[in-house]
Amino acid sequence: MTSTSTQMDLTSEPSPMSRDDAIAHILRTDPRFEIVDTTLWGNPFTVFARAPDNLRTLLQEAVASYPQRELLVYGQERWTVEEFASAVNRTAHILVTELSVQPGDRVALAMRNYPEMPILLMAIVSVGAVVVPLNAWWTGEELAFAVSDSDVHTVFADGDRYRALSTHVDDGSVTLVAIRDASGPVHYSDLLSRCASEHWPDIPVAPDDDFAVMYSSGSSGRPKGVILTHRGAISSVHSWKMGKEVAALMDPQAAAEQAELPAFLIVTPLFHVTALHSVFLQGLALGAKLVLMYKWNAEEAATLIQREQVTRFVGVPTQSAELISAAEKLDISLDSLETIGAGGAKRPASQVLQLAGQFPKASIATGWGMTETNSLGILLSGPEYVEHPDAAGRLTPPLQEMKIVDANGDQVPTGEVGELTVRSPANMRGYLNLPEETRATLKNGWLYTGDLARVDESGLVYILDRKKSIIIRGGENISCLEVEGALHQHPAIAEACVFPVPDDRLGETVGAAVYLHEGSDTDQTDISDFLKQRLATFKVPDRIWFWHAPLPRGGTDKLDRKTLQRLCQNLDEE
């Protein structure tokens, strides 16, 4: 009996652990994720003791671990990890010898999702310089502002960005280096062809050196440059890496069924943290194949997922919805997908159930993070997300702390609404050239996110709205996201955005812009009757504007609430 019992124990499947037990087990047994307490910028933080010191080391570890594994795919162009590192090192040599880039210098990238973007980024940070990814959707004036604000003297730009910048930085103070379809006296491909050096840069890069200045979307006023450090980016990547180990202990069977080689599709712009951090840098750390799209096209994405056996898709919620339609149209199962994530905006609850139904083998996931947190934040996936589709998720272990506070900075009781604040070494160092805004956002190591949230007794966090996206109607606070969520449940509505409308009597009333599904037909009375079954009457929009095209979006592909508010009000004045 004893012998039989022992044999059964040896062949049995590992028992699933609870989330807390899995985290504790890894911290106790896995030296890769050892944590220690330290002081940064005069504040206490918990940090990883054995994580890579900087992003160059992250790449070096990838080369050492899987040099011949395919890393980057763009159309017919393909790079192994070793080939990618070779291009990075040759580019690093160019930066120093041809362009006189020194440690601490800021170098801007103004381009769409070309392979040169990650190659240049890794080369810039490998020589101790600071990368400034510019929003490729900006006008020439907006690009020039960021170049001036960040004191950049070298910009790598593709065709459209090169032409837009050349009329604004023509005084010789900035060197424009042409990429791909750009034409100019200095072209990246010419510089690369003259360089044979593939040695790793012998330039010290400390963990708390700056690695990037990434500009916020600038929904109000000028965009803000967010200063991020190597430690901040590595803290995020290493936390996500540990998260995979936690998930495997919580669901050993699902982990055993995952593909041996992960493959990620990059569909959002690399000049934002969703693609740069949570897809590219995380993929580099995990040994994933990274399939790069120049710009979003749902049918092309579905074809790439099938051809390259992509296992992880992360995009804004509208891209998930369009992917469903494309898969149905092309009759593609997309059964290689193991994760379908969303970032940048909250996914409508109805879409969570739809995705779970159409892709039963995939874990449907959502995430909350900010440029200011190196994208690290709150995650939710799998059955728990399907059960709580309105939730943002749980804090990512093990470095982050969280408090929800009132207007005085005091923590509110569980279940009550307040401002979400987070503390971790992944937080930004500050805003570039904006000391007052930095002090208002960073207080004793805590980052005040500007998001209104509540947390339930189980630890699930619910993001309710931005503080500045609250409509105050006759003294009643109304969440724009709550009304938008109800609008998205209407079968005719494809997109909806809610905003305040000035009112002489009530101060503000609720306004909404909607874009209907093709072939749909409805009016304000029908929508109002529909909403009154789901919302208190005072939350139902007093005015709805119907758009005949997709609603305007900002640089991060979020709906541009301020612009829509202004455009709709202008329509009434015409």
- The rounded distance, in Å, linking the Cα atoms of 45 and 106 is 27
Dump pLDDT digits (tens) for 493-537. 999 999 999 887 777 899 999 999 989 999 999 999 999 988 878
Q: Give the residue from 233, 207, 231, 239 showing the smallest Cα distance to 398.
A: 239
Question: Domain segments of the chain: what residues?
Answer: 81-229, 474-573
- Mean pLDDT of successive 10-residue segments in the chain (574 residues)? 40 83 98 97 96 98 97 97 97 96 98 98 98 90 93 97 92 93 96 89 97 74 88 98 96 92 95 95 98 95 97 88 90 94 79 89 93 96 94 96 94 94 98 95 96 94 81 76 90 94 83 94 95 86 94 78 88 73
How far apart CA 332 and CA 48 sit, in angstroms, is 42
User: Which helix or strand (DSSP H or E) is residue 211 part of?
Assistant: strand 210-215
* Strand 77-80 versus strand 106-110 pairing type: unpaired
pLDDT digits (tens, 9 = 90+) for 410-434: 999 999 999 999 999 999 999 999 9
Instruction: State both tokens at 132.
Output: 């400034």
Are 527 and 514 in contact, with CB atoms under 8 Å apart?
A: yes
How far is 95 from 268, CA to CA, in rounded Å? Answer: 27
Report d(CA 277, CA 61) in Å as an integer.
17
Q: What is the CATH number of domain 474-573?
A: 3.30.300.30
SS3 377: coil
Q: pTM for this one?
A: 0.84
Domain 81-229 matching CATH 2.160.10.10: the answer reads no
474-573 has the same fold as 81-229: no
Nearest to 488 by CA among 476, 497, 479: 497
Chain mean pLDDT for the chain: 91
Closest by alpha carbon to 386, among 363, 369, 418? 363
3-state secondary structure of 177: strand
Of the candidates 237, 354, 21, 349, the one whose C-alpha atom is nearest the C-alpha of residue 366 is: 349
Hey, what are 55's tokens?
């992003």
Q: Which helix (H) or strand (E) holds 7?
A: helix 2-11
Which residue bears the tokens 């369009």?
A: 322
Quick one: how far is CA 455 from the chain centroid? 22
Helix 524-532 to helix 480-488 angle (10° resolution) is: 110
